[in-house]
Amino acid sequence: QVQLVESGGGLAQPGGSLTLSCAASRGFFSINALGWYRQAPGKERELVALITSVTNYADSVKGRFTISRDNAKNTVYLQMNSLKPEDTAVYYCNLRGKITPRSSPMDYWGKGTLVTVSS
């Protein structure tokens, strides 16, 4: 059983910063993608940042958010700067990968961490 555990959410003021972390409970044979998604109240879940062979960001966070990974720690990070009230959402990490060479790629999700941006 693979678990992804997010941390680092909380309350931030507009213009402030937060760093989210997502740690996997085990290593993987291969990882196809690592990503952060978010879901604001009353809205659908949307992609925020994704690492595959390249790194992609939603237009709304380009230049403000940075996704990174630490393979040794099985952890992916999301550095969020210049936060805006519209960044308020539950943030979820996602990992798509193979546990063994013969297993099929699967998607794993964390339970989410709440980020609130308010003065």
- Tokens for 24? 């996997």
Given the structure tokens 């760093």, which residue do they identify?
A: 19
Is the model's pLDDT at 22 over the cut of 90?
A: yes
- Tokens for 17? 């910063």
Give the pLDDT confidence score for residue 32 in this predicted structure. Answer: 93
Reported confidence tier of residue 1, pLDDT bands at 50, 70, 90? confident
- Tokens for 114? 């709440």
Q: pLDDT (tens digit, 9 = 90+) per residue, 70-81? A: 988 899 999 999
Over range 61-65, report the average pLDDT.
Answer: 98
Of 20, 17, 19, residue with least CA distance to 83:
17
Q: pLDDT (tens digit, 9 = 90+) per residue, 30-41? A: 999 999 999 999
What DSSP line would sit under 40-108, residue for residue? Answer: -TTS--EEEEEESSSEEE-TTTTTTEEEEEEGGGTEEEEEE-S--GGG-EEEEEEEEEESSTTSPPEEE
